[in-house]
Structure 1
């Protein structure tokens, strides 16, 4: 049984965002056809509006783990350090002054809790020092140019491209941002959208070039859901036959060999 919830928390009901309609008949590339089909199967949404610092913390918690593990860690963190805890009305201030052992205990379900607690406290301190707190950091993320925000986030130790792009998407509501996690990275190369040896940044560039800006946000979250339900790492649905996967006619099956059941990373082909 999968360790993931029934719906990706970023795209499902709990993920926020607003419904957004699109015309699935205007696709100009195979990649866009794929994204349109995902939108018909799962959801079409626009994103934005999450508090930028809380979004940053949530994304740190989600690194190298599942939604099922990271969501309780986020909820416990907010209960202990959020405004309702009465420690400090500003989450960045509260976490900058947190004891690492106590924070690690709060986020234990997310795994790598010592490393993640250290990262969160360090990032909170930087946000307080450079912006004065979470509100001013949120204003920076939502009002400055996406390139400047992304560069600033990537300059923070512990923040990688996927984390930066998630903040831009879910907090900043920036169209044209397509975060690349392990699912997106695997699927884009397996389907032949990106070269087999493409790294995460290569895949991001392909997806943002091929997918219209308004479709990137839900494309990211729906692609994760597709990776959980059909295009899994070790047992993709196509091993059972092309009829088992709704995207088989679009897929190059790079690294997947149905005749003998082998599945390898596309870069090993």
Structure 2
């Protein structure tokens, strides 16, 4: 595993490659972002983007969701992986928003993770993007980049990766580091035939 200084160097070089990297999900408010984040688990951004517009139009708020049914939600997201489970998550989390948070997406990690379908990664994305808080989300791209470049040990868990990054990088950069690593992992440090040596 790289030293703190060497790991910082790799991370800052990745950030230089993607100085303006931003979340590619389309959303207009925290509720829409919550739905997109739930849909994004084990799915491509492209597949989520294809269903988002109609989904958001049909379900502009949690009330519209619970007046529907998981089965109807399924009809809007059928092309996204694990759509049956995700329809249930959307329905249950919307019910929780109305029952426990007056219909608003909460802005603390603990409250977000109390929602069905929202784990640590999703909570961190919402904190960082919707609420502009310092948070670092660990997805499959971030995990691959960190392990490939020995920023963490090969057997590191998502929690350990989050702890390592947030320990060596100032909090104000956490959101940017996530977006840069996401883009780098998607385009350069790919699962097959990574081209990292051409850039780092």
TM-score of the pair, normalised by structure 1: 0.67
Alpha-carbon displacement from aligned partner over 1:160-218 (angstroms, at most 9, x marks no partner): 1111111111111112x110000111111121111111110100111111111121111
Deviation at 1:109, TM superposition (A): 2.5
Question: What is the DSSP-based 3-state SS (H/G/I as helix, E as strand, rest coil) of the residue aligned with 1:195?
Answer: coil
Question: What is the DSSP-based 3-state SS (H/G/I as helix, E as strand, rest coil) of the residue aligned with 2:79?
Answer: helix
2:101 is aligned with 1:150: no
Residue of structure 2 aligned with 1:43, choices 19, 43, 60: 19
**Greater C-alpha Rg:** 1
Alpha-carbon displacement from aligned partner over 1:81-110 (angstroms, at most 9, x marks no partner): 22xxxxxxxx01111222222211111232
Residue of structure 2 aligned with 1:194, choices 141, 152, 175: 152
2:86 is aligned with 1:110: no
The correspondence of residues 1-269 of structure 1 with structure 2, limited to 5 A, is: 29-44=5-20, 51-82=29-60, 91-134=61-104, 137=105, 140-141=106-107, 149-175=108-134, 177-237=135-195, 242=197, 245-247=198-200
Deviation at 1:111, TM superposition (A): 2.0
TM-score of the pair, normalised by structure 2: 0.88
Alpha-carbon displacement from aligned partner over 1:105-125 (angstroms, at most 9, x marks no partner): 111232211110110000000
The answer for unaligned runs of 5 or more in structure 1 is: 1-27, 83-90, 142-148, 248-269
The answer for unaligned runs of 5 or more in structure 2 is: none
The separation in 1 between residues aligned to 2:133 and 2:124, in whole angstroms, is 9
The separation in 2 between residues aligned to 1:45 and 1:231, in whole angstroms, is 16
CA contact 2:37–2:122 (8 Å) conserved in 1: yes
Aligned pairs, how many? 194
* Greater RCO, CA 8 A, separation 6+: 2
